[in-house]
Amino acid sequence: MTHIEVWLGDITTLGYDAIVNAANSSLLGGGGVDGAIHRAAGPRLLDCCRTLGGCPTGEARITPGFDLPARWIIHTVGPVWHDGAQGEPEQLAACYRNSLTLARANAVRSLAFPAISCGVYGYPPALACAIAVRVCREWAGAGAPEVIRLVAFDQQMAALLEEALARGGR
């Protein structure tokens, strides 16, 4: 059975099988967690991402972790929040599902997710946390990572993730 937990800290320091990058569609780096991952992974990550041709919203791509302690980086592109009626919930859920699909295909046993779309993309954090927990719980079990860590960038996000986990993603 999969263990899902919340952790407050720097995702780039985790020696997990894979970490998820909340990337932009170019996959060529940016701000927030994306920039932090690119800086920590080193210049080979950018060289590798240039060969991928980008990534549409909701999909995911995988690269080596390069200079990170994580073996793999799963890059996914979250939706920009408009009003919630433009398919954002479905797109965000697809980010988690497609990342978990790549994790399963690559025998990932430990996986860490950041709060996808909760930075400059403006997704309301409480809604995003509920989706993250719901999808991770749906995937818990056969073939899923043994540990899924939901990584918070601040205490407020950690509290929202803990609350969503306690409510089961509802």
Measured distance CA(36)–CA(117) in Å, rounded:
15
Q: Which of 77, 61, 70 is nearest to 18 (CA)?
A: 70
Measured distance CA(132)–CA(167) in Å, rounded:
12
- Output the CA angle 49-55-61, nearest 5 degrees: 65
Q: Which residue bears the tokens 């080979």?
A: 44
Active-site residue identified among 17, 34, 47, 83: 34
Establish how many alpha carbons lie within 13 A of residue 99's alpha carbon, considering only the half-sphere containing its beta carbon: 33
Q: Is 34 a catalytic residue?
A: yes
Three-state secondary structure call for residue 42: coil
Q: Report the catalytic residues.
A: 34
